[in-house]
């Protein structure tokens, strides 16, 4: 499969089968995350896998949507602000670095036959109440992961001429 084929297969899944994700597939995905690039190779991130039913129930309170509840597991993706690189003009790169790593996660999951969806519109304060985070740590995205129960829908994308010169 070409990279373009892989990118075309990835989509934001909003319905998951009850089937569990095999540990070897999860390990593969997380190895791809580990190898993601980051500014000055700081790797200012932490990833927490949420499989336990009680913890999943807490996480579902942070983003209460029916489709989200169908996922068999989740990954909480956090920025470690005391480890992020800061450019001379004060620009923090933690958001950029976590985005690169999370997209590695989503693409690796797709390659393994799994489905994901970026969730950034969650209650981060409630998430911090329910889970243990370091003082320097900010939950930035929630990623439901599992086997898709829906069909990939084609999103209309901008024409190539609209996005680069």
Enumerate long-range contacts of 36-39, CB under 8 Å, 24 or more apart. Answer: 36/97, 36/100, 36/101, 36/104, 37/100, 38/85, 38/93, 38/97, 38/100, 38/101, 39/84, 39/85, 39/93, 39/96, 39/97
What is the value of pTM for the model shown? 0.95
**Total domains present in the chain:** 1
State which residues form the domain around 88: 11-146
> Which residues, in sequence order, are bridge partners of residue 142?
76, 119
Is there a domain that residue 155 lies in? Answer: no
Is there a domain that residue 156 lies in? Answer: no
Count other C-beta atoms under 10 Å from residue 117's C-beta. 20
Task: Give the pLDDT confidence of 88-125 residue by residue, as tens digits.
Answer: 999 999 999 999 999 999 999 999 999 999 999 999 99
What pLDDT is attached to residue 81?
97
Is there a domain that residue 153 lies in? Answer: no
Query: Helical H runs in 93-146?
Result: 94-111, 124-130
CA distance 71 to 17: 7
Q: Average pLDDT, stretch 40-64?
A: 97
Task: Say whether pLDDT at 150 is over 90.
Answer: no
CATH number of the domain within which 79 lies: 3.40.109.10
Is there a domain that residue 157 lies in? Answer: no
Q: Average pLDDT, stretch 60-87?
A: 97
């Amino acid at each position: 499969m070409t990279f373009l084929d892989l990118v075309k297969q990835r989509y934001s899944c909003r319905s998951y089968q009850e089937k569990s994700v095999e540990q070897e597939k999860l390990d593969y995905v997380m190895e791809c995350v580990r190898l993601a690039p980051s500014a000055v190779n700081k790797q200012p991130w932490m990833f927490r896998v949420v499989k336990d039913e009680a913890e999943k129930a807490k996480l579902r309170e942070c983003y209460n949507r029916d489709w989200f509840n169908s996922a068999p597991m989740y990954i909480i993706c956090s920025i470690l602000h005391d480890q992020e690189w800061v450019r001379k003009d004060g620009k923090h790169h933690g958001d950029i670095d976590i985005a690169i790593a999370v997209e590695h996660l989503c693409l690796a999951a797709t390659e393994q036959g799994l489905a994901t969806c970026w969730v950034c519109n969650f209650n981060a304060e409630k998430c911090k109440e329910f889970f243990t985070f370091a003082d320097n740590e900010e939950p930035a995205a929630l990623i439901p992961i599992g086997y898709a129960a829906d069909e990939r829908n084609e999103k209309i994308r901008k024409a190539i001429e609209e996005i680069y010169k």
